[in-house]
Structure 1
Amino acid sequence: MKRIFTRISVLVGICLLTINVAFAQNITVKGRVMDSGDKSTIPSVSVLVKGTQIGTQTDPSGAYSISAPANATLVFQYLGYTTQELPVNNRTTINVELASSSQQLEQVVVVGYGTQRKIDVTGSVATVKGEEISKQASVNPISALQGKVAGVSITNNGAPGSSPQITIRGTGTIYGNTGVLYVVDGVWYDEISFLNPSDIENISILKDASSQSIYGIRAANGVVLVTTKRGKTGEPVISYNGSIGFKAVTNQVEMANATEYATIINELSASNGASPLFANPSSFGVGTNWYDQALRNALQTNHQLSVNGGTEKTTYNFSLGYTNEDGIVKTQNYKRYTAKLSNDFQVLKPLKIGYTVSGTSINSNDIDGAIFRQLYTAGPVVPVYYADGSYGDANDFSLGGGNNFNPQVTLDFYNQQSKNYRINGNVYAELTFLKNFTFRTSAGGDFGQNEVRGYTPLYAATQGQRTTQSTLRINRSETRNWILENTLTYKNTFGDHSITVLAGTTAQRRKSYFVNATAFDVPNTSDGDLYLSLGTAATRTVVDGGSLSTSNSYFGRVNYSFKDKYLLNATLRGDAASQFYGGGDLWGYFPAIGAGWVVTNEDFMKDQKVVNYLKLKGSWGKVGNAGVPVNPTTLTVSQGGDLVAFFNGVGYTGANINSLVPSFLNWERTTGTDIGIEARFLDNRLSIETGVYNKKTEQAIFEIPILSSIGTASGSLIGNQADFQNRGFEFLATYADKSKSGFSYSISGNIGINNNKVLSVVTGQNPIYAGGAGIANGALATRTIQGGAIGEFFGYKVAGIFQTAAEITGSAQPSAKPGDFKYVDQNGDKIIDGKDRVVLGNPNPKFSYGLNTSFGYKNFDLSVDVQGVAGVDVYNANIAYRFGNENFSKDFYDNRWTGPNTSNTYPSAAVGSTINAAPNSFYVEDGSYIRVRNIQLGYALPSMLMSKWKMQRVRVFVDAQNAINIFGYKGFTPEIGGTPTNAGIDASVYPLSATYRLGLQVTF
């Protein structure tokens, strides 16, 4: 019995000792972090328990408190200082002094197929961190880059879920795919609307040909590399990032009210020799404000939840995202669901494998693309509804014809939904062998399905807005893309020499397929199910099609450094693309070379204290563009009942050539030269990057018009027909510092200057005209010609307004009326015709700039971003796009010509006449603007409170995006996109809106 009691006593003792040890494992460590130089305290220093995700930050006085194992190691990190690792060794107080460093020079920059230290980069590569992107209220991550990178121009569209246009160092191509190449975790994409901004670790923008050439056939318009977040070793970290807010229209265009409208319509009737439509204009009062009727403050919510962690053998990152965004137009809505999972496995010491897979589901309720045109033109004398509940009808006011509709009818009866499902990602294996070699193989894919289903029921709302049969439209498309890549990297340092050699291969296939179907007389069943089979079989139509392209590539790169002073980078890539098979250069070769000199590492710079870092760099390279339709040299014909051929007096179904095609097509190539300087001053507080570039597109694939008498359907010929040039200058300066009181700040400004020019066109001085979309009477408002810019505005120069009939007599415009534009007779032949047209403006911005600031004090943080463009013109096509009695803007009403000497700048109410609506200088306005892109104020709860709640961080924030906009343009916004030869034409652009949010960020 005694023996049993003794054993139990020993067992209990062991258990108590174990429990005591368990509770004694963690101790509370406190201390203060200071600058080793001036001994000032440093706030917001990251303090982590090494090997875990447990951490905290120093408070405004530099103090910290953290619970850690007695034998742990603490890691102290802060931008601009050398990271320190200190063992706890049972200490409860650890004070730390951090030494200033040139950490940014050691920063790892993501480049094509790998990474480099920033000090080793010889090309022009800009990097934006994911935390900067997630601060913005943008659904698309590219929108968040606006104003942050010199030489990068981004044009946003206000529609929910829309993809912005991005141009890197000017327009380099005008045919086929003019967009940049996106590479997300090694997989190639044309756009990244599927990507949740909160999933991004960083974005690298390759701006010069030297850095782009490793991507050969797709790099001519620039490359954007996106690295998403992956797992990190340590305990699981759960993060939530959510916000709720609303979007509101800014700079809304004021339209004439009902009384003003009736007054000016009477003037228009008189100018046409007709009787007044309205006997008493003042009786209508204010009338209907159609913008107020159709637009709204739109709710926006966003939620993202992620889990991150792992061990030395495996790491993981999982995230879920949800976005629900209403459009500023009533009935419009956009919902996006995202899920992403990545895993990395250290299978063996030399072997690592992993994968990333993401899924996206997007559902939207769409709006009629014509709604903004209708809102601009709808007569305010027309009520939304009559007293009996029926729709107000423009025809009841003799306003039929033209664009005078009741927009509410359009909103109520337009029924279209879009659904997009997408899954993409990649899997890789990475093997390190013989110490210096790494072999990596990866396979990626992008698989998606998009369906647009629209239904128009039988209805009779007004005389002009009714249908006689219902229509169901279903458009379905699929993408099936894959990419296989293999790379072998040799990396070694011996003595003063450092070298990295990369060799690789790529194989790709891009396949798309679509089916467009229409059925009439489809009943609207009670349960809402709509099927093509319900329609009339005799009128049902189905059209399908698709495309398939493949490519094979080989590439290599050598990076060499001697004593971190002399840098050399050389790249060569060869690509074969099926687009050119059988009718062009199947293979294209793209070389590049870059060199750098780190001057401050020279002995003669060692003792000076003015310049902390100075690097001179230069590069040259050639890249290509394969973004053209499949088989562009294949001649196609069409047959139809309207085509008849007679042989021996017998009629047969004829055929017609669809388009003329070239017998041979060369690669479109872009050659770029870049010279730059990187420097740091004032103990690394001030950094400067600046450079000049010359980018030339050679043998650009271009369309030129041909005579319609030849009989082709397209009226154009595709070929290597032009050379373009973009020359520019870029400058970026950043100053970052902190005070002893704990106030820290960073101010960064950038500017890009670009000049676009057409060097040659195969047609010589015969111009290429375009820009007819949205222009009254289909007139062409842009011209591309040798010596000018791509898509420059072209038309008549307005000299004033004809005041009297006597002034018209004997003029070069005998058919004009008083109140019409008076055009300049450029050639003095007393006739105003096409020969008198001149260049009116340039839609290609000359200047783009940004100012990005961040401030921190105690637990508060504030960031303010300003962005703008200058030296750009836009064409306001809304004013003259008239076919009847449409409304006028308040600006036009207040300044119009109403009689002799009333105005010499604005025409009469007959602005839509053939004479006045012709493209001219009146419609070309300054498109410069400056806006406060984003303001965000945040507050992080104190670290002591977080420890009590078992949380790492809780931050609340409020922000406003696009709340302040300054511009002189008379439309909603001068930020207008478009294809290169149709850019800058405002034909009812989606209005600009500001976003206001309240958000919460929590980390467990």
Structure 2
Amino acid sequence: MLAQDKTIRGRVTEDAGNPVAGASVMIKGTTKGTTTGGNGEFSLAAAKGAVLVFSMIGYANAEITVGDDDNINVTLTLSSTEIGEVVVVGYGTQRKKDLTGAVASVNLEGLKGAPNTNIGQHLQGTVPGLNVGVATSAGGTPPISIRGRVTLNGNQSVLIILDGIQYTGSLSSINPDDIASIDVLKDASSTAVYGAQAANGVILITSRKGRLNQKPRIAFSTAYTTQTPTVGKLKPYERENYLEYLKEAFYDRAYLGPDFTQPNPDFNIEDVADNSIRDAQGHLLPHNYNWFKEGTNTGSILETNLSISGGGDHVSYLLSGGLVDQKGFIINDKFKRKSIRANIETRPLSWIKVGLLSSGSFVNQDGAEPSFGSIQRMTPLIVPYDSTGKLIPFPMNTLEPNPFSTYYVDDHDRNNYYFANIYTDIDFPFLSGLNYRMNFGNNYRTTEHFFSSIYDAGQTGRAYKEYQNYYDYTFDNILTYTKNFGQHDITATLLYGAIKRKYNRTFSEARGFPRLTLSYNNLSQGTFQFAQSDAWKESLAYQMARVNYKFKDRYLLTATIRRDGFSGFARNYKYGTFPVLALGWIISEENFMKNISAINSLKLRAGYGVNGNQTSRYTSIARVTTSAAYVYGDGAPTAFGQQVTSLGNDDLKWERTKGINVGVDFAVFNNRLGGSLDFYQNNTYDLLYSVAIPNVTGFGSITTNLGQIRNTGFEAALTYDVIKSRDFSWTASLNFSTNKNQIISLTGVDADGDGKEDDLINSGLFIGKSISSIYDYQLDGIYQLNDERIPGFPVGSLRIVDQNKDNDITQASDRIFLGRQEPKYRVSLFQTFGYKGFSLTVFLNSVQGGKDGFLGNNNPSFFREDNTIRVNNLQGIDFWSPSNPNGKYPRNISGSRAKIEPNMWQDRSFVRLQDISLSYDFATTLLKKTKVQSINLYVSGKNLYTWTNWEGWDPESLDADGNAVGLVIGGRPVLRGFTVGLNIVY
């Protein structure tokens, strides 16, 4: 420290008196400075007369001249609508004030206490228009979409950009603790820079970094979570209840006619029970085995993170590591992740930066679950093991295997993810404002799945080894020129880039083992041996030009054009061009607004542009497969041949989504209330769709372009500082979004000559309706014993409304539009309460269907046959019977199925108490002696309660085909979690 320097100490707070952590404190005109700790305190050597500049994103800068006082306390004031806030956009950053597109930032700080091992789980309800479902497996990635559906068969995945590079790994591989910010690009104006891959929206993830001239900052966090199902009643019957369920299945014998409500004294359950639950003498087996209990356990998550960051005059760094060990509700549903990150940047010269953003994630999901569906089907009167403790392969004496036969296996399941972006950033000294950035991004993934089971291949044993590897690189060259002259500000960006991807897979399998003592490590012991391999490559090339122009700090223009080429498209349409134009008007900067004190900021923006959607590889070309083709004589080996399996289409085009977005950003009442409103309409043309063609061609269909979809919606994001005082604060954030899609046209064919384009009824696609419209039978209760019935419908079956009154039910005449599967609107409310060192957050999330939306099929019907009297069922299903005439679900014991067994559509609307977290920051005075900047202790709960009329596993749960999961065997529960955690910053 120089003689004239002295140590300046102080604390940085915001208007309400709360500390501002991470604020920058710099000596003006130099590169020397520091940042505030978790309690807002700082220490810095500076000379008398030096000017200290205090800055923080979202706050107006403050400058203080060092005088005789060695202690300086500073209060930062929120800038008008956070005009200084910088958000990440495609290929750069922008001040929030200057945005012309629909860009939203996720509030990660408020959800830090939630037990989310997957970054996707952080996103539920946080941004209007960002639609995130639930995950029901350990480490699982929930379904994610932005602003609804804009395609039929095209790619529906949201584009993920990590640190400027397209991320093709699983979101489960990203450590949420490493994330600094998440920004969502929703409209054509903001997503156009990614062209052909951005039709479904873009999520930009930015990892944490160190800062220059920052002393080493060590952060440690740990948390433990316990998890149990949110729907505890969905369990199979235990012994007594199962026998009662079986009795009701035979109500025609267990009760006396004609009304079947009086018990039959001569009825014996053993007379109707399946052989699998009776002994040799015909008596019921004595067991009461709880298959469900043995196949499940209390879930848990143990998470630990450690990072160190900082920097000197020329180098900044962040090094981090994380461990996650999650055990799901179903035994062997395990997820373990080890993650490391190294983000390093060096400035060898004042005008050049060279950096590395890198991470490795090592995911272990060893072990296989028991079949959860089979666990729910097994009756409690049978057991999984014989008297010697050996697994019984088929305890029900049917082809249904023992559910634990998939559990007692040797399963090695590993995925390793590697990511690195090596970049160079040059501010050319000979031309002020000119910047060149080179990104060389790499994604590499390896998969090892080794498996052996003595119970496979008809109990003869099966084992295999599977290796997969995937690699892609992105090479971007970005030239940016920024110039301010007079009242004009211009930023021009040019991009030239390329992406190449490749994949390899090798699979070796053997069956029929005399013994499996070497598991999958000696496949040559198998009697039958097989090998497969697969590989592919694809590449993209693209160019982009963008101009951001601002006049008088109030009139904004963004113009973008991008050209994409993809190797997977047909020869005549390899390239597509995607333009966009957006305008903005900062009305609050106009002179006529200066005297309106209630309005702090007001901006109007509008944009129109075109995005594309890629086809999958090989869609546009004829494909060939190899199969057994001919046998030359008795005893001769099978000859294999090649067969063309699809038609090529040299004229297959890119899907194009043309979208308009009109939005308003505002802050009023001294910045206490702020937010944004957006209205949008997207029209998708040249839809990629597989169209049926005459079989005389030798093929059933061909992929082509057809039709148009319209997608419209409205979004609102509001934040209100309800109370803001020195000791107490209350902030509420409300997100609302509504979306509707509509099929405008399909094939353009009018085959029946009625003057209207034909619907694709067999595909469930109708002109003027939404993509997920429900065209089905209308129901009117259940047929009672004495009801007059339409022929073909027994007692206890569902009564279908005969729409044309012909006393018959047919598909052609009796189906109507019942509603749609998409929701009407989504709404969430996030509230934060602060009192001194305490902070309480409460997060409510809701999806509503309105009059006829967000419907899911929920039909747990019962038909008496060999299988249904042999297997178990879920408790609490309200089946009809003569003694329960108001039962909700059909029970048919007639011996003949109903002519039609229709779907039963239920409203899935819900309100969920999604997250609650209570934390405490220990007082600064207690930490001074320990040199610890902050200690935060918290407890939290997730998925605490759901208000819904939906009867099933969870209103948001979906199966592999995207259908709602109701009262069905095989569903998986959403888990309720309770967490205790600790954060320490040194």
Q: Does 2:721 align with 1:726? A: no
Partner of 2:197: 218
The alpha carbon displacement at 1:254 in A equals: 4.1
CA distance, structure 1, for counterparts of residue 912 and residue 459 of structure 2: 48
Structure 1 residue aligned with 2:975, among 987, 993, 999?
993
CA contact (8 A) 1:624 1:668 kept: yes
The correspondence of residues 38-57 of structure 1 with structure 2, limited to 5 A, is 41=17, 50=26, 51=32, 53=34, 55-56=36-37
Deviations 1:538-577 (CA, angstroms, capped at 9, x unpaired): x211111122111111101111111121111111000111
CA distance, structure 2, for counterparts of residue 306 and residue 890 of structure 1: 48
Partner of 2:489: 498
Partner of 1:698: 685
The secondary structure found in structure 1 opposite 2:166 is: strand
The alpha carbon displacement at 1:512 in A equals: 1.3
The alpha carbon displacement at 1:49 in A equals: 5.3
The alpha-carbon distance between structure 1 residues 896 and 286, as it changes in their structure 2 partners (threshold 3 A), is farther
CA distance, structure 2, for counterparts of residue 47 and residue 88 of structure 1: 18
The correspondence of residues 172-211 of structure 1 with structure 2, limited to 5 A, is 172-190=150-168, 191-211=170-190
Partner of 2:767: 786
The secondary structure found in structure 1 opposite 2:365 is: strand
The correspondence of residues 78-227 of structure 1 with structure 2, limited to 5 A, is 81-89=59-67, 91-96=69-74, 98-99=76-77, 101-102=79-80, 104-132=82-110, 134-190=112-168, 191-227=170-206
CA contact (8 A) 1:794 1:919 kept: no
The alpha-carbon distance between structure 1 residues 787 and 246, as it changes in their structure 2 partners (threshold 3 A), is same
Letter in 1 for 2:45: P
The secondary structure found in structure 1 opposite 2:83 is: helix
CA contact (8 A) 2:839 2:918 kept: yes
The alpha carbon displacement at 1:177 in A equals: 3.0
The alpha carbon displacement at 1:284 in A equals: 8.3
Partner of 2:278: none
The correspondence of residues 456-475 of structure 1 with structure 2, limited to 5 A, is 456-458=453-455, 467-475=458-466
CA distance, structure 2, for counterparts of residue 185 and residue 543 of structure 1: 36
Deviations 1:132-167 (CA, angstroms, capped at 9, x unpaired): 454431111121011110011101212012112111
Partner of 1:416: 411
The secondary structure found in structure 1 opposite 2:906 is: strand
The alpha-carbon distance between structure 1 residues 829 and 492, as it changes in their structure 2 partners (threshold 3 A), is same
The secondary structure found in structure 2 opposite 1:947 is: helix
CA contact (8 A) 1:46 1:56 kept: yes
CA distance, structure 2, for counterparts of residue 338 and residue 132 of structure 1: 23
Letter in 1 for 2:201: G
CA distance, structure 1, for counterparts of residue 427 and residue 624 of structure 2: 55
Deviations 1:430-488 (CA, angstroms, capped at 9, x unpaired): 111200211111111111111222211148xxxxxx94311013332211101111111
Partner of 2:347: 346
Structure 2 residue aligned with 1:579, among 544, 550, 568?
568
Structure 2 residue aligned with 1:240, among 213, 220, 227?
220
CA contact (8 A) 2:81 2:600 kept: no
CA contact (8 A) 1:267 1:909 kept: no
The alpha carbon displacement at 1:367 in A equals: 3.4
The alpha-carbon distance between structure 1 residues 739 and 484, as it changes in their structure 2 partners (threshold 3 A), is closer
Partner of 1:829: 806
CA distance, structure 2, for counterparts of residue 591 and residue 880 of structure 1: 56
Partner of 2:760: 767
CA distance, structure 2, for counterparts of residue 906 and residue 390 of structure 1: 39
Structure 1 residue aligned with 2:660, among 673, 676, 686?
673
CA distance, structure 2, for counterparts of residue 549 and residue 32 of structure 1: 52
Q: Does 2:891 align with 1:896? A: no
**What 5-or-longer segments of structure 2 have no aligned partner?**
27-31, 256-266, 274-282, 750-756
CA distance, structure 1, for counterparts of residue 917 and residue 321 of structure 2: 24
Partner of 1:935: 916
Structure 2 residue aligned with 1:619, among 607, 617, 621?
607
CA contact (8 A) 1:182 1:192 kept: no
Partner of 1:69: 45
The alpha carbon displacement at 1:719 in A equals: 1.8
Partner of 1:802: 783
The alpha carbon displacement at 1:83 in A equals: 3.1
The alpha carbon displacement at 1:99 in A equals: 4.6
Structure 2 residue aligned with 1:588, among 576, 589, 610?
576
Q: Does 2:868 align with 1:884? A: yes
Partner of 2:424: 429
The secondary structure found in structure 2 opposite 1:278 is: helix
The alpha-carbon distance between structure 1 residues 706 and 815, as it changes in their structure 2 partners (threshold 3 A), is farther
Structure 2 residue aligned with 1:601, among 558, 565, 589?
589
CA contact (8 A) 2:843 2:916 kept: yes
The alpha carbon displacement at 1:98 in A equals: 4.5
The alpha carbon displacement at 1:32 in A equals: 9.0
CA contact (8 A) 2:38 2:934 kept: no
CA contact (8 A) 2:663 2:678 kept: yes
Partner of 1:864: 842
Instruction: Give the % identical residues.
Output: 28
The alpha carbon displacement at 1:203 in A equals: 0.8
Letter in 2 for 1:452: H
CA distance, structure 2, for counterparts of residue 523 and residue 89 of structure 1: 88
CA contact (8 A) 2:777 2:902 kept: yes
The correspondence of residues 324-343 of structure 1 with structure 2, limited to 5 A, is 324-343=325-344
**What 5-or-longer segments of structure 1 have no aligned partner?**
1-17, 59-63, 460-465, 771-782
Letter in 2 for 1:718: T
The secondary structure found in structure 1 opposite 2:891 is: coil
CA distance, structure 1, for counterparts of residue 253 and residue 613 of structure 2: 52
The alpha carbon displacement at 1:790 in A equals: 1.9
Deviations 1:101-140 (CA, angstroms, capped at 9, x unpaired): 3161221111100111111101100112543454431111
CA contact (8 A) 1:955 1:1001 kept: yes
The alpha-carbon distance between structure 1 residues 101 and 332, as it changes in their structure 2 partners (threshold 3 A), is closer
The alpha carbon displacement at 1:79 in A equals: 7.3
The correspondence of residues 815-854 of structure 1 with structure 2, limited to 5 A, is 815-835=792-812, 836-854=814-832
CA contact (8 A) 1:753 1:848 kept: yes
Partner of 2:855: 873
CA distance, structure 2, for counterparts of residue 621 and residue 848 of structure 1: 26
Letter in 2 for 1:506: G
Deviations 1:849-906 (CA, angstroms, capped at 9, x unpaired): 21112222211112121112111122236656995333233332xx322228723642
Letter in 2 for 1:931: R
Letter in 2 for 1:181: L
The alpha carbon displacement at 1:251 in A equals: 1.1
The secondary structure found in structure 2 opposite 1:376 is: helix
The secondary structure found in structure 2 opposite 1:533 is: helix
The correspondence of residues 682-697 of structure 1 with structure 2, limited to 5 A, is 682-697=669-684
TM-score normalised to the size of structure 2? 0.88
The alpha-carbon distance between structure 1 residues 535 and 134, as it changes in their structure 2 partners (threshold 3 A), is farther
CA distance, structure 1, for counterparts of residue 646 and residue 340 of structure 2: 45
CA contact (8 A) 2:491 2:548 kept: yes
The alpha-carbon distance between structure 1 residues 652 and 359, as it changes in their structure 2 partners (threshold 3 A), is closer
The alpha carbon displacement at 1:357 in A equals: 1.6
The alpha carbon displacement at 1:300 in A equals: 0.9
The secondary structure found in structure 1 opposite 2:499 is: strand
The alpha carbon displacement at 1:202 in A equals: 0.6
CA contact (8 A) 1:130 1:198 kept: no
Bigger mean CA deviation after superposition, 562-571 or 250-259: 250-259
CA distance, structure 2, for counterparts of residue 152 and residue 94 of structure 1: 43
Letter in 2 for 1:69: A
The alpha-carbon distance between structure 1 residues 33 and 479, as it changes in their structure 2 partners (threshold 3 A), is closer
The alpha carbon displacement at 1:331 in A equals: 2.3
Partner of 1:514: 505
Q: Which has the higher helix share?
A: 1
The secondary structure found in structure 1 opposite 2:651 is: coil
Letter in 1 for 2:450: R
Letter in 1 for 2:447: N
The secondary structure found in structure 2 opposite 1:480 is: strand
